[in-house]
Amino acid sequence: MPCSIRKIYVLFLLTGFCFNSRINAQHIITFCGAPVPMDQQFVQDKLINVIKKQVNVVNLPSLRQRANSYFPLVEKYLAAYGLHQDLKYLPIVESGFLTRAESGAGAKGIWQIMPATARGYGMKVDAGTDERENFDKATRVACQLIRDNYTGLNRLAGTVNWPLAIAAYNFGIGNIVEAIKNQGNNYFAMKLNPETGLYVYKIIAVKELFEYPELYNSKFGYNVFSAKAGPKKKLKEADLEVTNDADIIGVIERELEKNKDRKAPVIKEEQYVLAHIEGKMKNFLDGNMVTIVLDEDLITSRYGLSFKGYSFGVQGWIIDDRVFFKLGYDHDVTLLDLTKQKGVLLTDLLSKKRIDVLLKNIIYQK
C-alpha cells in the first residue's frame, strides 16, 4: 500500500474520517470553535501521534477524578473572562490539575505559571507564600494572561487566533510575535521548538479523548480510559516521532491557500429523539454490544431516515460509573440519558430491563 494511502487509512481507523472525492470529513475536530485543518496530511499525522501519547495521560483514574472536580470551576472562570471552554483542558497538559506541580524551569501550580509572570500579575511568590498554589488566584491570573496574549498578539503582530494565543502561553508572546513575522499566522504550519510545536496538539488530543472517548475506544480497540487496558503491542518511541520538515511546510502553505475558503458545516439545530436500550445484562465488559431501539423516527443530515422501531447493535465502553456508546453516526448523533448526561449508568444497564434514553441529533444547514 503506498505511503500516502496508508496514512489516510490509518487516519480513518483512528479518527472516524470518511474520505470521498471531496475529502468530506464527518468527524470534525475543532479547537476554540475553529476547525483544525485535518485536510492537511501533516496535521493529521501529527495529531494522531499526539493522541496515541496522550492516551497514557488520560487513562489515569486519579487524573479524571481531579479533572471532573475542577472542570465546573474552571468553566466559570473562562466564561467570566470571555475565553473559550476548550481551554479547560490546558491544565491537564500543564499539570494534571495538581496544585503543587512544579517544573524544572520553576513554573508552578495547576496553570504552571512562572515566578516572574506571577509577580507581574500581583501574586505573592516568596519563601513563605506561593500564591500559584492557590486555585482561585492562579486561575484568575492564567485567564488574564491568556486574554492578554490574545489582545497583545493582535496589537503587536496585527493578527491573532486561539492556537497562536495558546502557543504564546507556552513560549512567551515575544517569541510568537517573532515567529509570526517570519512564518505567518498559521500555528499548524509553523516551525517552532518541539515543545511549543506540540503544545496545542496536546490540548486538542486531550479534548478529543475526554469528549469523544467512544469513537477512539472503538478505533483503538481498547478503552483509553482504563489504566488496565492498552495496545497489545507497545509502540516504540521512534514510531511516534514528529518532525517539522522545512520542505513539508511549503507544501502545507500551498494546500492551506488552496483550501482556505472551505468551511466546516454550520449547525442548524439540535433535536432530541426518544429511544431505549434493552438492558438487564448479566455482565458487561468494555466493547460489548447492546441493542438500541428507536421510539421515534430519526432523520439525520448525513444518513437519512431511520424509522421508529428500528433496532441496531452498538459497542459500549465503561468510563468510571457510566457506559458510553459509539452509534455509528460520528459526532452527529450522541446517546444521552433522560437528564441529558452522556451515556448511561452501568448499574442501570445491569439492573434495568429497559433504559429510556435520548439521541441528540445535530442537523446541519444545507
- Tell me the pLDDT tens digit for each residue of 181-230: 999 999 998 999 989 999 999 999 999 888 888 877 766 666 766 656 55
pLDDT for res 67: 87
Q: Is the pLDDT of residue 356 over 60?
A: yes
pLDDT for res 301: 78
Asked whether the whole model's pTM tops 0.85, one would answer: no
Give the residue numbers marked as catalytic: 94
Q: Is the pLDDT of residue 20 over 60?
A: no
Distances (CA, A) of 60 to 75, 113, 320: 22, 24, 11
pLDDT digits (tens, 9 = 90+) for 41-59: 788 888 888 887 787 777 6
Binning pLDDT at 50, 70 and 90, where does residue 233 land? very low
Cell numbers 493578527 correspond to: 159
More confident residue, 290 or 266: 290
Question: Is 193 in contact with 185 (CB distance < 8 Å)?
Answer: no
pLDDT for res 249: 43
More confident residue, 259 or 354: 354
Binning pLDDT at 50, 70 and 90, where does residue 9 land? very low
Question: Which CATH number is 3-258 given?
Answer: 1.10.530.10
Binning pLDDT at 50, 70 and 90, where does residue 262 land? low
More confident residue, 153 or 68: 153
CA angle 304, 305, 311 (to 5 degrees): 120
**At residue 291, what are phi and psi to the nearest 5 degrees?**
-105, 130
pLDDT for res 152: 94
Q: How far apart are CA 235 and CA 256, in angstroms?
A: 31
Q: Which of 265, 263, 251, 330 is nearest to 40 (CA)?
A: 251
Under DSSP, the state recorded for 324 is E
Alpha helices in the chain (DSSP H): 3-15, 41-58, 61-80, 90-94, 115-120, 135-157, 162-171, 173-183, 194-211, 213-220, 246-258, 346-351
pLDDT digits (tens, 9 = 90+) for 268-298: 888 999 999 998 888 888 888 999 999 999 9
**Residues 15-27, mean pLDDT to the nearest whole number:** 37
pLDDT digits (tens, 9 = 90+) for 323-342: 999 888 877 899 999 999 98
More confident residue, 62 or 210: 210
**What is the rounded average pLDDT for all residues in the chain?**
80
Domain boundaries, the chain: 3-258, 267-364
% of residues, the chain, pLDDT over 90 = 43
Distances (CA, A) of 67 to 166, 221, 339, 352, 366: 20, 25, 21, 30, 37
Number of CB atoms found within 10 A of residue 111's CB:
27
